[in-house]
Structure 1
Amino acid sequence: MHAPDARWHGLLERPEVVVLLAERDGAAVGYVSAIRQLHLWTGGDVLDLDDLNVRPGHRDAGVGRRLTTALARLAAPEQLLIRWGTEVDDLDAQRSYRRLGATLRPKVLAAWPPAAYADLAADG
């Protein structure tokens, strides 16, 4: 995350933001973050998994699985869809997600930064 501390704390205080931390011997070894939001296509809310990260030296020890399991437990009472993306060439991540039972499908992600749409928006 590349946000100043004050902004970071403000983001974490938002009710739609979920961050779960994994610790070992009192030290953070991983986290999962997700954002609950309305998704019109599904007709309700979804949890968009924003980031799943396990520190080197703690990978392949079940930390990621425990974090995703904890996220699933939060989503289960309301049967929320959990969705996320990964890089096309990140085959290790894809294998992990398949083992969880996730469905993988290709999709192109588009991002429209303000500098790219500024002229269009100004023309009204």
Structure 2
Amino acid sequence: MTSTRPDLVVREATPDDAETVLRLVKEIAAHQAQSDSVTVTAEQWAGHLGRPDITVLLAEIDRQPVGYVSSVRRLHLWSGSDIVALDDLYVRPGHRDAGVGRLLMTELARRSGGLTITWGVQPDNDAAIRFYRRLGAAVRAKVMCAWSRAAQPVQ
């Protein structure tokens, strides 16, 4: 897909893009002070990028990545239908506020076939919340919990 900016293109990542996707994942983790949480490898990403339930879209300018959005299609048990669970939306510094994030989100919606898209955002990330509201997303407060394997009781 090409935006109104002829130099900005969004395309689906393939297994050949595994190193690029991993680099971008590490960048967003560092931005969120969560670098220690990234344990995935490029080899694992290559496998993930071949799965039909995982979508990663890369935004590129002159074939150089400037951002990405990643999502997983999954069953929503309450509705009995699928939803798209957005995992990350990331735009590199220097390319923010230039329409990259909006284009990535719009393209994800277009490729999602009308399915509801859900995601989380840190409650103190005011810029992201403003951005999502401008897209027309409903912003609702909800606490997300994670139960790591190390914290689970031994059976």
Q: Same fold (TM over 0.5)?
A: yes
Matched with 1:74 is 111
Matched with 1:42 is 79
Whole-Å separation in 1 of the counterparts to 2:50 and 2:120? 24
Which of 127, 131, 151 lines up with 1:92 in the alignment?
127
Letter in 1 for 2:56: V
* Partner-residue secondary structure (3-state), 2:152: helix
Cα distance, 1:42 vs structure 2? 2.3
Matched with 1:27 is 64
Which of 64, 70, 75 lines up with 2:101 in the alignment?
64
Superposition CA RMSD, Å: 1.0
Whole-Å separation in 2 of the counterparts to 1:88 and 1:72? 23
Q: Where does the alignment leave 5 or more consecutive residues of structure 1 unmatched?
A: none
Letter in 1 for 2:121: T
Identical columns (%): 54
Residue 101, structure 1, aligned to residue 136, structure 2: yes
Q: Where does the alignment leave 5 or more consecutive residues of structure 2 unmatched?
A: 1-24, 26-37
Matched with 1:6 is 43
Structure 1 runs, 4 residues or longer, greater than 6 Å off: none
Letter in 1 for 2:67: G
* Partner-residue secondary structure (3-state), 1:111: coil
Letter in 1 for 2:97: D
The aligned length equals: 118
Letter in 1 for 2:145: A
* Partner-residue secondary structure (3-state), 1:45: strand
Cα distance, 1:59 vs structure 2? 0.3
Residue 114, structure 1, aligned to residue 149, structure 2: yes
Cα distance, 1:5 vs structure 2? 1.6
Cα distance, 1:26 vs structure 2? 1.6
Whole-Å separation in 2 of the counterparts to 1:32 and 1:54? 9
Whole-Å separation in 2 of the counterparts to 1:111 and 1:98? 26
Whole-Å separation in 1 of the counterparts to 2:68 and 2:122? 19
